[in-house]
């Protein structure tokens, strides 16, 4: 099911090229379809949202409306278990603790008649996308909303697609209520991104859109960037595991499958120095896949983007991983800390045999909204920083300005900007 590539073999260059080109999903194939959806939302607003919800999610919400009611949230609490509530509250505590450490404060510095600083202001309104097409993601509610709350965002608007009954999963609504999110709309896909970016009768436009989603959501975020800010491209999930002979094939296979089950376009790549381990993992992958509920998604994703790669040493493994820049990188090796410094491009790095990727998905604390499709070369995980903006602050008194007036006027003159020069000059005539 997973294609094996032997980078120690004579065809190394061709294999490397293939891997770099086809390591992860490409956006180009989806751009036209997404643009059509966005255009329609920008012109007809709610009408387009209702039509696409009927077409893609199979439900007509024109009578009930898109906004979630208080009764729906109350009903959700009656549907979730005590275990779920305990787990989600532990996750909220851990994720909040981690993100509190990212909080940024304004700072000011002064000397002889001057004061300079950087003022931090939360972004006023933010749209959070919570995926919900093939699975419901209460954990993504937490990962999106907690850093926004820590940053002090006033208006948090949540969008997520409804199920066939026109409802949202109880876990998603409870997670939202636990965090005090009140504005929730039952709309997903590119149309939800369009609504947040342009605004409709029901959904007022936001300043920034964050959150993960499938390829339609990720492509739509790319397209609306400029109308609004976005966090990053967080598309179909990816995992890359690097392992040496110390790894357990059962664990490695399980971790690869954990991300393959997200989406047919998800990628699961295994790089190893041990041929025996490579073979054992291939056997385990087949064995474990057969027992999975989302077997058909997993099989498609492994055929699309599943690979086992044999390399000569761990250095070569890390080089390749840096080139692919995976969303999640697991270092299932005897001495993972010794490799950490060499890792340059990865959304999240999991060290050792007991830090499986799903631990990070749910409650270790770091954010699970991470860059995909090679964009970990320049994007970072979602964080409190995504929800603030900075303003520079400048104060000079008369004496301090007089001290530098000539230098400012010289620079203005050099640029041929006499109005700039005059703004200084008039103050000392
Ligand atoms: N990178 C991250 O941080 C991260 C985190 C969590 C989840 N994810 C990813 O989120 C995604 C969740 O995907 P999902 O599909 O379950 O939910 P989703 O909410 O992202 O997408 C569902 C929506 O996609 C739209 N859609 C589906 N088929 C379409 C088509 N043919 N044309 C136009 N629009 C279409 C529909 O509007 C539907 O409501 C997965 O890819 C998962 O890997 C990523
Ligand atoms: N692995 C996903 C990020 O790619 C996040 C997630 C949520 N639930 C389960 N997994
Ligand atoms: Zn996951």
Classified by CATH at the fold level, domain 28-235 comes out as Rossmann fold (3.40.50)
What is the DSSP track for 401-418?
HHHHHHHHHHHHHHTT-H
Compute the distance between CA of residue 379 and CA of residue 128 in angstroms, rounded to an integer: 18
What's 2's DSSP letter?
A: P
CA nearest to 237, candidates 164, 172, 140: 140
Find the distance separating the first CA and the last CA of the chain, reported in whole Å: 81
**pLDDT tens-place string over residues 193-234:** 999 999 999 999 999 999 999 999 999 999 999 999 999 989
Which ligand sits nearest to residue 187's alpha carbon? 1
Using the mean position of ligand 1's atoms as its centre, give its distance from the Cα of residue 216 in Å: 7
Find out whether the beta carbon of 139 lies less than 6 Å from any atom of ligand 2.
yes
Active site residues: 327-328
Find out whether the beta carbon of 144 lies less than 6 Å from any atom of ligand 2.
no
Query: Is the overall model pTM greater than 0.90, yes or no?
Result: yes
Residue whose Cα lies nearest atom 1 of ligand 1: it is: 234
The pLDDT value given to residue 310: 97
Find out whether the beta carbon of 237 lies less than 6 Å from any atom of ligand 2.
yes
Binding site, annotated residues for Zn(2+): 259, 262, 361, 420
Using the mean position of ligand 1's atoms as its centre, give its distance from the Cα of residue 424 in Å: 55
Q: Outline where DSSP puts E strands in 179-225.
A: 183-186, 208-210
CA nearest to 99, candidates 147, 139, 142: 147
Classified by CATH at the fold level, domain 3-25+236-355 comes out as Rossmann fold (3.40.50)
Is the pLDDT confidence value at 10 over 80?
A: no
Binding site, annotated residues for NAD(+): 129, 191, 214
Phi, psi of 394 (to 5 degrees): -135, 125
pLDDT-derived band at 3 (thresholds 50, 70, 90) equals: confident
Is the pLDDT confidence value at 393 over 80?
A: yes
From 158, 189, 193, 195, mutation site for ligand 1 pocket: most ligand atoms within 8 A of C-beta: 189
Binding site, annotated residues for substrate: 237, 259, 262, 328, 361, 415, 420
Compute the distance between CA of residue 301 and CA of residue 278 in angstroms, rounded to an integer: 19
| Mean pLDDT, residues 58-80 taken together | 97
Q: Establish how many alpha carbons lie within 13 A of residue 94's alpha carbon, considering only the half-sphere containing its beta carbon.
A: 18
Which residues, in sequence order, are bridge partners of residue 242? 271, 331
Q: Domain map of the chain by residue range?
A: 3-25+236-355, 28-235, 397-428
Using the mean position of ligand 1's atoms as its centre, give its distance from the Cα of residue 91 in Å: 23
Find out whether the beta carbon of 251 lies less than 6 Å from any atom of ligand 2.
no
CA nearest to 356, candidates 270, 291, 259: 259
The pLDDT value given to residue 93: 98
Compute the distance between CA of residue 277 and CA of residue 183 in angstroms, rounded to an integer: 49
Two domains, one topology: 3-25+236-355 and 28-235: yes
The per-residue pLDDT of the chain, averaged, comes to 96
Query: Do the interacting molecules here have an ipTM over 0.90?
Result: yes
On whether the CB atoms of residues 340 and 318 are closer than 8 A, the answer is no
What's 225's DSSP letter?
A: B
């Amino acid at each position: 099911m997973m294609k094996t590539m032997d980078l120690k073999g004579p065809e190394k260059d061709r294999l490397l090229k293939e891997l770099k080109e086809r390591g992860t999903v490409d956006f180009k194939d989806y751009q036209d379809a997404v643009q059509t959806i966005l255009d329609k939302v920008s012109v007809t607003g709610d009408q387009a949202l209702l039509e696409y919800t009927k077409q893609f999610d199979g439900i007509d919400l024109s009578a009930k409306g898109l906004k979630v009611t208080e009764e729906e949230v109350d009903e959700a609490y009656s549907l979730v278990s005590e275990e779920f509530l305990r787990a989600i509250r532990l996750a909220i505590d851990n994720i909040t603790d981690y993100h509190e450490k990212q909080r940024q404060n304004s700072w000011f510095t002064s000397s002889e008649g001057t004061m300079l600083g950087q003022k931090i202001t939360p972004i006023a309104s933010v749209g959070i996308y919570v995926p919900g097409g093939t699975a419901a993601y209460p954990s993504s509610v937490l990962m999106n909303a907690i850093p926004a709350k820590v940053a002090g965002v006033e208006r948090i608007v949540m969008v997520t697609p409804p199920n066939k009954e026109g409802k949202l999963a109880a876990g998603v609504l409870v997670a939202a209520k636990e965090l005090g999110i009140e504005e929730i709309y039952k709309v997903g896909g590119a149309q939800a991104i369009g609504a947040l970016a342009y605004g409709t009768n029901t959904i007022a436009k936001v300043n920034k859109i964050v959150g993960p989603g499938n390829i339609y959501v990720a492509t739509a975020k790319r397209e609306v960037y400029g109308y609004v800010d976005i966090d990053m491209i967080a598309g179909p999930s990816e995992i890359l595991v690097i392992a040496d002979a110390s790894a357990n094939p059962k664990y490695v296979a399980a971790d690869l499958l954990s991300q393959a089950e997200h989406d047919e376009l998800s990628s699961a790549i295994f790089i190893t120095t041990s041929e025996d381990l490579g073979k054992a993992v291939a056997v385990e992958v087949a064995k474990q896949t057969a027992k999975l509920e989302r077997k058909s998604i997993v099989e498609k994703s492994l055929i699309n983007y599943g690979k086992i790669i044999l390399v000569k040493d761990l250095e070569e493994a890390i080089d390749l991983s840096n080139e692919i820049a995976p969303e999640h990188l697991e270092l299932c090796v005897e001495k993972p800390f010794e490799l950490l410094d060499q890792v340059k491009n990865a959304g999240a790095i999991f060290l050792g045999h007991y830090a499986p990727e799903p631990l990070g998905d749910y409650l270790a604390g770091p954010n699970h909204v991470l860059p995909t499709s090679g964009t970990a070369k320049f994007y970072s995980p979602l964080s409190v920083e995504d929800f603030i903006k900075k303003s520079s602050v400048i104060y000079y008194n008369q004496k301090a300005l007089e001290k530098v007036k000539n230098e400012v006027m010289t620079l203005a003159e050099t640029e041929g900007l006499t109005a700039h020069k005059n703004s200084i000059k008039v103050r000392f005539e």
